[in-house]
Structure 1
């Protein structure tokens, strides 16, 4: 694991040692039986801490509509805010003759942000806890996920702690894992829960913060939402065709808000839209 300890980390530092901070939380809470490995409480102001986070830039994946840029990720009043905006940007890689969708779009009509901890915070097993509030409007595709540090996708392994998008036209909460398959593009262990089930329990769900948690051991991955188990992945079944198990290697975290593609139509959606993250914490078993 690679961690640069700085003032923003605040694992055990008292409030005030890094200047004026909005939150009153001074120490990241302990988790019984675990040691805190790393956390970002987003207690500073400005861009995400560069000791922990790197941004993606441009059109990146899944034929999505947004142009990723760091400007859409800000830390303010104790939260990371990833903002989706409707704004036109010139694509510097534009090539009308290209077959690659990243190049044959002359303009981006939307912007957003994607940040990750690759090369900065990487971990093997443990508990990941993220408190966040997502916008559930049409076209939104927020995510909390991890990727393995070795091999290309999907052989590196992907863990989707949280995804929200449309499945069969219906808003859905997803909790997944992916790895290599000998014939398909990827093998998946997926949980897809209709968002209507969460709204039935709590009509105010979209306006509230919620806690996503991953419990990851050498044997399983369990993904929870507000204490409810969404999916359990048996890691004896996730070996790539070459014998490599991508969930027995370190992973890094990604936070992003994609727009369009699986998220659905953006035509009737009013912007800006915000995906807010209160904290990210990684614990490992004692």
Structure 2
């Protein structure tokens, strides 16, 4: 979540002392020269070049013929005692700043800008989790089911029938297994599961982490996503949809994230694809950070897409109400595409789901 902040020195800062004129006598002082600033970020090392997350940076200013110094950081003017000072940055994440420093004497002043990148760790509290450490059915206190087909009004021309059977959703050996399989069931050719936290856990703003290994096969369409809890009253897309991760078995090596709103639904423009490797053989961490201003998606803690519309209204930003979590595997449909005729069974394994605020 990088943000470039361009700082300018206020008129008051530079006007306190006027620069000397060019026709001063030789014995009169001249404005400070050779102004420089260095910094030491607390806790910085090869693994943490931008600091240890405390946001504390120690600065040293030097100049020739300087009587005193001032600095402007984050629009905050600082009078410097001596030539060293410390400053604590507080904006969470890794951010770029430009610091303006000025050296003064009776003849006037000189100034320079100094760029710096600082990391600030944002403390998060775990408010909800499922570690899937009890074998059997998924925890009924955490998860419910959507059952049936797209005829219920929430499908996308998919071919599966969602069930609540252990055949399609089971906790085993510390992971949740969602199983899509080819079988004749209730008039459908495939079965799968769609787990939801609707009515059990709903929240506004926070970070969601889901560690999962994805299913393989032409036609599989697994998803980790969220839907507005007011879906039943305002409908879709007015409720807002946050697609943390969607994967198409017909397009291995990539995942996508998207936002659906009244101004961007269906074939959404608020959409980003990123590369991934070993997605069906290894676990990866899929994350979303949802704040009042933006929604950022991450793969293995690396940011790859942020949605932050310049104008926020009900059409572009319905994301100020509770959302609930959804885990599912669809088969075929608008995004899943053609199902491999040789497809038999495939599983999405979920190690954990954690929500922080």
TM-score (ref. length: structure 2): 0.60
One of 328, 331, 348 as aligned partner of 1:256: 328
CA distance in 2, matches of 1:185, 1:86: 27
Does the Cα contact within 8 Å between 1:39 and 1:281 map onto a contact in 2?
Answer: yes
Counterpart CA distance in 2 for 1:248 and 1:210 is: 28
Q: Distance in 1 between matches of 2:295 and 2:268?
A: 15
**Distance (whole Å) between structure 2 residues aligned to residue 238 and residue 276 of structure 1:** 36
Cα deviation 1:152-190 (Å, max 9, x = unaligned): 110100000000127xx74441111110039x7685410
Q: 1:279 to 1:57 in 2, by over 3 A?
A: same
1:127 has 2:207 as partner = yes
Correspondent of 2:182 among 71, 86, 90: 86
Tell me the alpha carbon deviations over residues 241-274 of structure 1, each in whole angstroms, 9 at most, x when there is no partner.
4xx8311111100000001112122234432100
Q: Unaligned stretches of 5+ in structure 2?
A: 1-120
> In the alignment, which of 57, 61, 65 is matched to residue 147 of structure 2?
57
For residues 119-154 of structure 1, give each alpha carbon's deviation from its aligned partner in whole angstroms, at most 9, with x where no partner exists. Answer: 110111111000000023211100000011122110
Say if 2:258 and 2:268, in contact at 8 Å, map to a contact too: no
Aligned residue in 2 for 1:67: 161
Q: Are residues 187 and 258 of structure 1, via their aligned partners in 2, closer, same or farther at CA, if it must alter by over 3 Å?
A: closer
| Gap change, CA 1:113 and 1:48, over 3 Å in 2 | same
* 1:50-83 deviation per Cα after TM superposition (whole angstroms, max 9, x unaligned): 1111101110300101000011111111111000
**Aligned partners of 2:256 and 2:273 also within 8 Å:** yes
Instruction: Note closer, same or farther for the CA distance 1:270–1:170 as it changes in structure 2 (3 Å cut).
Output: closer
Residue number among 271, 276, 280 corresponding to 2:344 in the alignment: 271
Contact 1:179–1:188 (CA<8 Å) still a contact in 2?
no
Q: Mapping of 1:216-231 within 5 angstroms?
A: 216-231=290-305
Cα distance in 1 between the residues matched to 2:324 and 2:312: 18
Distance 2:212 2:330 in 1: 16
Q: Conserved in 2, the CA contact under 8 Å of 1:221 and 1:235?
A: no
1:85-106 per-residue CA deviation (whole Å, 9 max, x = no partner) reads 111013xxxxxxxxxxxxxxxx
**Pair 1:179 & 2:261 matched:** yes
Look at both structures and tell me which one has the larger radius of gyration over its CA atoms. Answer: 2
1:236 CA displacement: 4.4
User: What CA distance in whole angstroms lies between the structure 1 residues aligned with 2:198 and 2:339?
Assistant: 30
Find the aligned partners of 1:236 and 1:218 in 2 and give their Cα distance: 13
> Quick one: structure 1 residues 274 and 237, their matched pair in 2 at CA, closer, same or farther if it must change by over 3 Å?
farther
Q: Which residue of 2 aligns with 1:27?
A: none
Q: Say yes or no: does 1:214 pair with 2:288.
A: yes
| Corresponding position of 1:99 | none
CA separation in 2, counterparts of 1:44 and 1:86? 27
CA distance in 2, matches of 1:218, 1:55: 29
What is the number of equivalent residue pairs in this alignment? 226
Unaligned runs of 5+ in 1: 1-30, 91-106
Partner residue in 1 for 2:354? 281
Instruction: Give 1:110 deviation, angstroms.
Output: 0.3
Output the TM-score relative to the length of structure 1.
0.74
RMSD of aligned alpha carbons = 2.1
| Secondary structure class of the residue paired with 1:44 | coil
